Amino acid sequence: MSRRLAMVELFGHREPRLLVTGQTISMFGDGVANVALTLLVLDTTHSVSKLAWFATARMVPLVALLLVGGAIVDRHARRTLLLISDLARAALTGGLVVLLVTGSLRFWHLLVFGVLFGTFDAIFTPAMSAMTPEIVPEHLLGAMNAVRPLSSNVVGNMIGPAVGGLVTAWSATAAISIDAATFLLSAGALALMHPTPTPVRSAATSMIHEIKEGVGYVRATIWIWTTLLAVTLSNALLFVPTFVLVPFMLRHNFHASKFTVGLFFAASGLAGGIGALVSGSSAIPRRRIRAMFTAWTAASAVMLVFGVVTRSWEVFIVPLVTTPGILYGNVIWESMLQAVVPRELLGRVSSVDWFVSLGLAPVGLVIAGYASSLIGVRTYFVIAAIVATAPGLFILASRRINAIDAGR
């Protein structure tokens, strides 16, 4: 009962309540815009490889600048950095709306937009992870790490995309305008929060030295670096390309409507919301590594279904299984980092986490785009699912990696 009430107790605290509210609004806008941008690229280029390049343009700066972003996060107040990031992304999205209204938008504009957007994502992502234990009591960290993906999936990946599919069928400009407005509302919620402290630094050191400290901590901690290596492979080959390849499959293999593409994102969000709700209502398991990789490995294996689908509705089966598994593993992972990693290193370790986890994703997107155009989307998914499942099986069997849980 206490675990089920943890989410309710969380909203009794002012700062988490404001943060979750603002982020939920922003995630709705992201869900609308993700469908709009995906369909905009497909409708104007009719190319899965160009859609992959657009996704890569956003991913590359996010990955390349994450380590710098983590060092910045451990030098400055985290709330201030989140506020700057939201305002900058509102301005970028608003600029995209202006180009659409004036009829000036070109594919290279979308690439530039993706690069700049990803740059501010590189600050936002570690800042969010590092600020969480500053505003949330330790016994509620699991609930917070479940509430965020719960709102992300229900609002950002279910309601947002469903609305995005409908609005985009009428006007892509209107859909992207919604995203710009939600960034401003999110910034307003952050502005209402109390300022967070500037992280305490033991000595005046260079940013490079601080980045090395974060990397060194990860390298010295076997359960962290082995997990990151396994995750980067599955993200690069499987999970990240899914949101490029599946819309292409639906539109070009099954001739599905734009609304159906939105429903696919919505189905993923619904399944993820259920997974996050269950995760937030469950105690963190004693064998955290094994529970985490059981969920992630099963999620990878289920992707084999994409290799045999023959109708558009069958595509929807996969996210109903994979998304809850991914979310359950993620809640365990984030809670482990926030509970074990020293507070003054958390921003940098979080940035290393994201850097390695997504490090090969830009390359994976390009490979997935070209490979699927040569061998077909179905064949690509079969090969990628088999490759991504192998590391998880190894970690499940490794006593040394699971030693972190031996005394629990």
Q: State the pLDDT confidence band at 252, using cuts at 50, 70 and 90.
A: confident
In a domain, 1, yes or no: no
CATH number at residue 394: 1.20.1250.20
Q: Which domain holds residue 77?
A: 6-194+207-405
Decide if pLDDT at 122 tops 50.
yes
Give 167-212 pLDDT, tens digit per residue: 888 888 899 999 999 999 999 999 999 888 777 765 656 777 878 8
In a domain, 175, yes or no: yes
Q: Helices in 136-255 by DSSP H: which ranges?
A: 141-151, 160-170, 172-192, 207-219, 222-234, 240-248
Distance separating alpha carbons of residues 345 and 20, to the nearest angstrom: 24
pLDDT at position 39: 82
CA dihedral 251, 255, 258, 263 (to 10 degrees): -90
Q: 208 Cβ partners below 8 Å, 6+ apart?
A: none
Closest CA to 156 of 259, 331, 25: 25
For the chain, how are helix, strand and coil distributed in percent, rounded to 5?
A: 85, 0, 15
- The count of other CB atoms within 10 Å of the CB of residue 1 is 6
pLDDT at position 202: 59
User: Is there a contact between 286 and 407 (Cβ–Cβ < 8 Å)?
Assistant: no
In a domain, 201, yes or no: no
Please tell me the least confidently modeled range out of 4-8, 21-25, 93-97, 368-372: 4-8
Give whole-number Cα distances, 160 to 33, 115, 320, 383, in Å.
Answer: 8, 23, 17, 31
Count the domains in the chain.
1
Q: State the pLDDT confidence band at 1, using cuts at 50, 70 and 90.
A: very low
In a domain, 199, yes or no: no
In a domain, 28, yes or no: yes
Prediction pTM value: 0.66
In a domain, 202, yes or no: no
Distance separating alpha carbons of residues 227 and 238, to the nearest angstrom: 16
Q: State the pLDDT confidence band at 228, using cuts at 50, 70 and 90.
A: very high
In a domain, 200, yes or no: no
Distance separating alpha carbons of residues 395 and 288, to the nearest angstrom: 12
Distance separating alpha carbons of residues 3 and 23, to the nearest angstrom: 23
